[in-house]
């Protein structure tokens, strides 16, 4: 019935606007719908979610956005997610992480920043986003080099996995 159905889905198929955006590969539309509260894990009548259909259709940018959204919803650390989004050139996932409060100039345990890895991997649009958002061109990573390599690696892991090393 009209009163108990989700107003943004086709009642026969269970398909939502987010599902369609993901099916078509419209990453900007998907981002807008997610920002407005669309249910990322709501499936169609067959149980296929927007993420499932984006993967099936090969829309890598949409998949990266949905995966980042799901991880952040579940409490993932946004700084590490930003680093990986920049490493892989997933600009929409990087934007999502920045909007969620990620430290744009975080120096990872390898001594690299998100801007460094975006440039290193040739992801110009992602690097441009970081610069537009105020990423520093020079970051002091000397503190990472105090101690031997094992100590430096331990400090990096301890930061992301406290008490689990």
Question: pLDDT band for position 7 (50/70/90)?
Answer: very low
Q: Where are the domains of the chain?
A: 1-75, 77-165
> Residue 111: is it exposed, middle or buried by C-beta count within 10 angstroms (0-12/13-18/19+)?
middle
Main-chain phi, psi angles of 11, to 5 degrees: -65, -25
CA 105 centroid distance within chain: 16
DSSP state of 97: H
- Tell me whether domains 1-75 and 77-165 share a fold: yes
pLDDT tens digits, 92-130: 899 989 998 999 999 888 888 999 999 999 999 999 999
* Average of per-residue pLDDT across 146-158: 51
3-state secondary structure of 35: helix
Give the tokens for residue 47.
């149980």
pLDDT tens digits, 70-96: 878 877 788 888 999 999 999 989 998
Question: pLDDT band for position 10 (50/70/90)?
Answer: low
Closest CA relative to residue 91, chosen from 57, 46, 53, 60: 60
What CATH number does the domain located at 1-75 have? 1.25.40.20
Q: How far apart are the first and last CA of the chain?
A: 53
Assign domain 77-165 to its CATH architecture: Alpha Horseshoe (1.25)
* Average of per-residue pLDDT across 131-153: 66
Q: Check: CB of residue 10 under 8 Å from CB of residue 41.
A: no
The answer to whether the pTM exceeds 0.85 is no
């Amino acid at each position: 019935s009209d009163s108990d159905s989700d107003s943004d889905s086709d009642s026969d198929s269970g398909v939502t606007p987010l599902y369609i955006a993901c099916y078509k590969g419209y990453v900007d539309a998907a981002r807008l719908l997610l920002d407005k509260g669309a249910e990322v894990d709501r499936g169609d009548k067959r149980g296929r979610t927007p993420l499932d259909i984006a993967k099936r259709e090969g829309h890598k940018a949409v998949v990266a956005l949905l995966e980042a959204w799901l991880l952040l919803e579940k409490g993932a650390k946004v700084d590490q997610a930003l680093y990986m989004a920049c490493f892989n050139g997933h600009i929409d996932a990087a934007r999502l992480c920045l909007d969620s409060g990620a430290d744009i100039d975080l120096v990872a345990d390898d001594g690299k920043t998100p801007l460094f890895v975006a440039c290193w991997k040739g992801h110009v649009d992602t690097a441009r986003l970081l610069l537009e958002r105020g990423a520093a061109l020079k970051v002091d990573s000397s503190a990472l080099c105090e101690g031997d390599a094992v100590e430096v690696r331990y400090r990096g892991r301890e930061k992301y996995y406290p008490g689990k090393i």
